Amino acid sequence: MEYATRGDRTASCLSFLCKIVVLLGLAAAAASGQLTDDYYDYCCPQVYRIVRSRVAAAMKAEMRMGASLLRLHFHDCFVNGCDASILLDGTNSEKFAAPNNNSVRGYEVIDAIKADLESACPGVVSCADIVALAAKYGVLLSGGPDYDVLLGRRDGLVANQTGANSNLPSPFDSISVITARFKDVGLNATDVVVLSGAHTIGRSRCLLFSNRLANFSATNSVDPTLDSSLASSLQQVCRGGADQLAALDVNSADAFDNHYYQNLLANKGLLASDQGLVSSSGDPAVAATKALVQAYSANGQRFSCDFGNSMVKMGNISPLTGSAGQIRKNCRAVN
């Protein structure tokens, strides 16, 4: 007869207790429908260390990855809620929707995090929570605020390519349209301006702003709300083709700060939807957004604080909790 060692018995006991805590947590979440900041404290406290380590390694290899992981979270939450549906492969994959195809990145980083967590805490941490935490560390390791991420999401069972094509804000949309899209998911005009500030880090393809550089209108070859020297620089970059990249924040492309807002006031916003926050004449939404841009331009600390708050709000868009959805073993496929 074989006898378990003390270490084996302890591990078995902890595993049993962990399952009990998970079940109790699920019951509480089902009753309240709310996410919490201590969801994994007993059953997978190493989740923070594991996610941060993988994000740090990815950003060391390519600093831009922090911005990409932040964008991945945004594009997930606006379609089906924050349920990791964007990670699913298949014929209806959101990855191949127009706003995401050849644009959204970071899937391999999420895969690596998931593999580590399945080894450390099998069947416990959802892909949706991994995406939210990866975005947090992408911001933090870029010099941004250390906001608390609420956890306890479960993973969706279906992707929604049609929803990704229709629900995600576009860089070609007016501020009124973008504000309406935010309102549809429970976010307001302040959240529009704050979350647009995520463009303080990252890059954009020429495809998304080259319309501002030539043949802009019958009276202007170049968008008159774009600084002329920046326009000349971007024209040089985009001669290389639609997939060439330019910094969203011309002053500090990889540093999370309030330069993005200062750029807008100097007509140096890269995307039309960025510059539109202050320069869209005739758009009734712009009076409010311009005032906020001016406030954040002058007060980086206020921006950092409000950014954390808006990220928590965004992360709470229609999460699956309790017994809804599942904890995927592989983030690319349902169990």
Residues 6+ apart with CB under 8 A from 146: 136, 140, 308
Query: Any bridge partners for residue 194, and if so which?
Result: none
249 is in an annotated binding site: yes
254 is in an annotated binding site: no
200 is in an annotated binding site: yes
Distance, CA of 36 to CA of 29 (rounded, Å): 9
Q: Is 278 exposed, middle or buried (0-12, 13-18, 19+ CB in 10 A)?
A: buried
Distance, CA of 171 to CA of 266 (rounded, Å): 19
32 is in an annotated binding site: no
Active site residues: 75
Burial 120-138 (b: 16+ CB within 10 A, else e): ebebbbbbbbbbbbbbbbb
76 is in an annotated binding site: yes
81 is in an annotated binding site: yes
* DSSP reduced 3-state for 228: helix
Contact 260, 249 (CB under 8 A): yes
Nearest to 140 by CA among 50, 52, 71, 216: 52
281 is in an annotated binding site: no
* DSSP reduced 3-state for 221: coil
33 is in an annotated binding site: no
122 is in an annotated binding site: no
229 is in an annotated binding site: no
Which residues contribute to the annotated binding site for heme b? Answer: 199
Could you list the residues known to form a binding site for Ca(2+), using ranges.
76, 79, 81, 83, 85, 94, 200, 249, 257
Known binding-site positions: 76, 79, 81, 83, 85, 94, 169, 199-200, 249, 257
